[in-house]
Amino acid sequence: MLEEDKINISPQTLFNIILISESIILLISTIFIDLNKINLTPYLHFNRYCLISGLIAGLTISFIAKLIYIIGKTGKFEIFRGFVDIYTDSVYKKFKQFNITQILLISLISGFCEEVFFRGVLQTLVGVYPCNLIFAFIHAPRLSFWVLFILSFLAGLVFSYLKIYFHSLWPAIIGHSVNNFISFIFLKVIIIDDKI
């Protein structure tokens, strides 16, 4: 059992902590944008291709993550067992009590704030690969989470190249939000009901 799993936090408190954390990320983004004279305005245009590509990216990344979970749950591939443990022993315990409104808000806010920071600011300052290494380390802070680290790094690369290809942050924001939303729903519906 992880140390932080022993801490008992109410769902509302955890929800507030997440919102405050994402607000801090957006504040840091704003400071870096100002200090480095980064102009994100050209990357804020939106069209149906941004929407479609973001949806496809988010659904694909989420599908791959859930497939890894299912394969790991069978026990046939021990290599993926750690990924299952992350969901069931760590993430599930923290997020299982969120209602659909909280899930939607967290998904949208974290997708927006994190993509503005990682793809909008950090990628502009340090480049695609260093940006996504940092993105992966933040999403998988322990060595035992190496499958999540690789998945986060690859997802970050997808989001980075969507930004580059479409000259817009919106595909990455939508993809990140969709992946988060599906992950939370997966936690609520599949793991809670122990259907897998």
- In this prediction, residue 186 carries a pLDDT of 84
In whole angstroms, give the CA distance from residue 174 to residue 33.
21
Q: What is the pTM of this model?
A: 0.89
- In this prediction, residue 7 carries a pLDDT of 62
Tell me the DSSP string of the chain.
Answer: --GGGGS---HHHHHHHHHHHHHHHHHHHHHHHHHTT---GGG----HHHHHHHHHHHHHHHHHHHHHHHHHHHTS-GGGHHHHHIIIIIIHHHHTT--HHHHHHHHHHHHHHHHIIIIIIIHHHH-HHHHHHHHHHHH--SGGGHHHHHHHHHHHHHHHHHHHHHT-SHHHHHHHHHHHHHHHHHIIIIITTT--
pLDDT in tens, the chain (196 residues): 444 445 677 888 889 999 999 999 999 999 999 999 999 999 999 999 999 999 999 999 999 988 888 888 887 877 777 777 777 766 666 777 888 999 999 999 999 999 999 999 999 999 999 999 999 999 887 766 788 899 999 999 999 999 999 999 999 999 999 999 998 888 777 665 555 5
- In this prediction, residue 194 carries a pLDDT of 53
- In this prediction, residue 143 carries a pLDDT of 66
